[in-house]
Amino acid sequence: MNIGSAAKASGVSAKMIRHYEGIGLLPQAGRSDTGYRQYGEKDLRTLQFIRRSRDLGFSLGEIQGLLGLWQDRARPSREVKALAERHLEFLDRKLDELQSMKNALSHLVSCCHGDERPDCPILESLSGENGSTGLGGHGGR
């Protein structure tokens, strides 16, 4: 199976498959006589594993860890769970961050009449003429 079919079957683009191989996330693929990468069932399962992990937001580094555990039949599930929990905390932090932005911004939006007149609480808040918008002081990333 060539890289294009593997890409279609796994949902990982050919570009990314090559990249994953380049950074050592995937082993070197076998090659045909003419240098085409060749993929089999086992490779497909690995590619799908990676795609599902990406769908859950795991970084490629974390996926390297997951792949290692997956391939180690003696892994303690404790380790998998720990890795997943760390990622869960990451997701929680991101969610909080986005939710705060959303709260602050949707408040501002609801205060802006949005017509032809120039006065605008959104711009006022951004320029610091701020009454109390929920925008704290420093503290961004």
Partner DNA sequence: ATGGAGCTTCCCATGATGGGAAGGTCAAGC
Partner DNA sequence: GCTTGACCTTCCCATCATGGGAAGCTCCAT
Q: Which amino acid is at 101?
A: M
Q: Beta-carbon neighbour count of residue 138 at 10 Å?
A: 4
Residue 47 · residue 10 · CB < 8 Å: yes
Total residues belonging to the chain = 141
Please report whether residue 52 would count as binding DNA according to CB under 7 A.
no
| Binding segment toward its own copies, per CB under 8 A, in 18-26, 31-39, 44-52 | 44-52
Q: How far apart are CA 84 and CA 56, in angstroms?
A: 10
Out of 44, 60, 67, 105, the only residue in the binding site for DNA (CB under 7 A) is 60
Q: Which of DNA, its own copies, none interacts with 32 (beta carbon under 5 to 8 A by kind)? A: DNA
Least distance between its own copies and beta carbon 134 (Å) = 10
Interface residues with DNA (CB under 7 A) are 2-5, 13-16, 18-19, 29, 32-37, 54, 59-61, 140-141
